[in-house]
Amino acid sequence: MAGLIGRYVAPNEAVAPAGARVPSGGGIRIAVTDVRMDCPLIRYPALGTDKRTERPVLCLRLRIANPGSEAVGYRTWRRGGAVLRSRHGALSPCAFGGDSHPVGIAAEDAVAAGGMAEDVLFFIGETRASDELVLELDGGNCGGRGKLVIRIPESVWAR
């Protein structure tokens, strides 16, 4: 079982800095690197097209690092296992159908030893850039157990 470590980091900060202590058995490090309202570009492979969403959605960019010595299974939280709350209540996860995915984000089924993956989660609901957000991720999506909770202060929203 992989250990899970999560926190907000600045976009240019390393998730697993050199010399960082890695939990026994490997460990996955998950960081939220960007928070913004946007109309993301979504790829629809079955249609052979890319299209921006019509309405803005809340986009959370994640960096998933595996500093361990073995690959760790990974399944995107866009397909389930993510809860986002603001002071106004829970926001709804947002998907765009079938095999669609954000442009620039590769479908991953594992994070290689010493490797890194990026993902973007989308949510709709009432929130403002003045809100602190709480992201809850199911550890089973990356080989762990239980829930990983990451507090995202309002100061990190892209302005």
Give 4-11+25-156's CATH code, choosing from 2.60.40.1240, 3.40.50.720, 3.40.718.10, 2.60.420.10. Answer: 2.60.40.1240
Q: What is the pLDDT along the chain (159 residues), one digit of tens a residue?
A: 333 344 444 444 444 433 333 333 346 888 888 888 999 999 998 899 999 999 999 999 998 888 888 888 888 888 888 999 888 888 999 888 878 889 988 777 888 999 999 999 999 987 776 678 888 888 888 877 778 888 888 777 765
Name the H helices within 13-138.
none
**At a CB cut-off of 8 Å and minimum separation 6, what does 19 contact?**
none
Which pTM value belongs to this model? 0.79
Tokens at 84, concatenated: 């986002």
Residue 59 has a CB neighbour count (10 Å cut-off) of 20
